[in-house]
């Protein structure tokens, strides 16, 4: 069972994978177990794997991202033993060299790079480029016969080969890329209840913000009332004082004139 850290991290990585898939690879978590990810690698052009479709699996430990995953490839490629763990720097064969900052995209990009090299390791095989091209030509037909491929990637189970969302066109300066549909496991789709709760939360925040603004307006208005009242009162007192001074002066002039 995935830890909270693994659940949070892998959920985030699935979102990133959909938004910015790396060239020639695609992956998605199993609908029932987020620690198991099925991946597809498409053979890059100008390589012996051109036209190939390679299905495999990433087996994440519950302690991910602090421990690396196990990696298998099911489709025969002439590079790796089918259904056998592959040893390279980002797999569970090398926990000492694992970096928790590495992600699903990083791992699969590294695996593709390792696949294109000739380095031998546990899980790898030796074959000629001709054999690799022959495996590539038969790869899609082979995948269609595999139940685990059909379960993991039903949208790719067609007579013609589908491209993953990024076949490297963006990296080569092409923007008008047609991508295959993305399959989102139901367990990772936002539920209606979650959407409703999120909307209610936002509505509540907006209401609270409006109330706060109204309160500030009322407070400002209340502060302005005394200021206006005091100004009026000062004006009233000043006018009255001037009037009284004028009357007092008139009385004094009148008395002075009568005595004279």
For the segment 183-231, what is each residue's pLDDT rounded down to a tens digit?
A: 445 444 433 333 333 443 344 444 444 444 444 444 444 334 344 444 4
Q: Measured between alpha carbons, how far is 26 from 40 in angstroms, rounded to an integer?
A: 5
3-state secondary structure 6-72: HHHHHHHHHHHHHHCCCCCEEEEECCCCCCEEEEEEEECCCCCCECCEEEEEEECCCCCCCCCCEEE
Q: What is the pLDDT of residue 227?
A: 41
Cα–Cα distance, 25 to 168 (Å, whole number): 10
How far is Cα 146 from Cα 160, in angstroms, rounded to an integer?
16
pLDDT-derived band at 180, boundaries 50, 70, 90: very low
Q: Please say whether the beta carbons of 217 and 225 come within 8 A.
A: no
Both structure tokens of 244: 């009284």
Q: Give CA–CA dist 42/151, Å, rounded.
A: 19
**Residue 20 is encoded by which pair of tokens?**
């910015």
| pLDDT of 1 | 86
Residues assigned a catalytic role: 87
Q: Which pLDDT score is estimated for 199?
A: 41
Between these two residues, 155 and 224, which has the higher pLDDT value? Answer: 155
Q: What is the pLDDT of residue 239?
A: 57
Is 156 in contact with 142 (CB distance < 8 Å)?
no
Q: Are 37 and 153 in contact (CB under 8 A)?
A: no
Pairing verdict, β 36-42 and 70-73: unpaired
Which pairs with CB-CB distance under 8 Å and at least 24 residues apart come from 169-177?
170/23, 171/23
pLDDT digits (tens, 9 = 90+) for 36-87: 999 999 999 999 999 999 999 999 999 999 999 999 999 999 999 999 999 9
Three-class SS of residue 222?
helix
């Amino acid at each position: 069972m995935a830890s909270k850290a693994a659940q949070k991290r892998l959920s985030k990585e699935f979102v990133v994978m959909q938004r910015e898939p790396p060239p020639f690879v695609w992956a998605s978590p199993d609908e029932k177990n987020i620690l198991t990810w099925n991946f597809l690698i498409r053979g890059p052009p100008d390589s012996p794997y051109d036209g190939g479709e390679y299905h495999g699996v990433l087996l994440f430990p519950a302690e991910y991202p602090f421990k690396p995953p196990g990696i298998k490839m099911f489709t025969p490629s002439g590079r790796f033993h089918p259904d056998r763990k592959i040893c390279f720097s980002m797999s569970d064969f090398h926990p000492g060299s694992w970096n928790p900052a590495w992600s699903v995209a990083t791992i699969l990009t590294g695996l593709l790079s390792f696949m294109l090299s000739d380095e031998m390791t546990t899980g790898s095989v030796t074959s000629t480029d001709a054999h690799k091209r022959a495996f590539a030509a038969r790869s899609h037909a082979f995948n269609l016969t595999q139940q685990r491929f059909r379960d993991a990637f039903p949208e790719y189970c067609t007579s013609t080969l589908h491209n993953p969302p990024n076949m490297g066109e963006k990296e080569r300066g092409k923007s008008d890329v047609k991508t295959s549909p993305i399959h989102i496991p139901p367990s990772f789709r936002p539920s209606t209840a979650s959407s409703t709760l999120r909307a209610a939360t936002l509505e509540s925040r907006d209401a609270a913000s409006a109330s706060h603004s109204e309160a500030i307006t009322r407070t400002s208005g209340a502060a302005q009332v005394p200021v206006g009242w005091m100004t009026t009162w000062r004006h009233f007192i000043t006018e009255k004082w001037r009037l009284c001074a004028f009357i007092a002066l008139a009385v004094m002039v009148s008395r002075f004139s009568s005595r004279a």
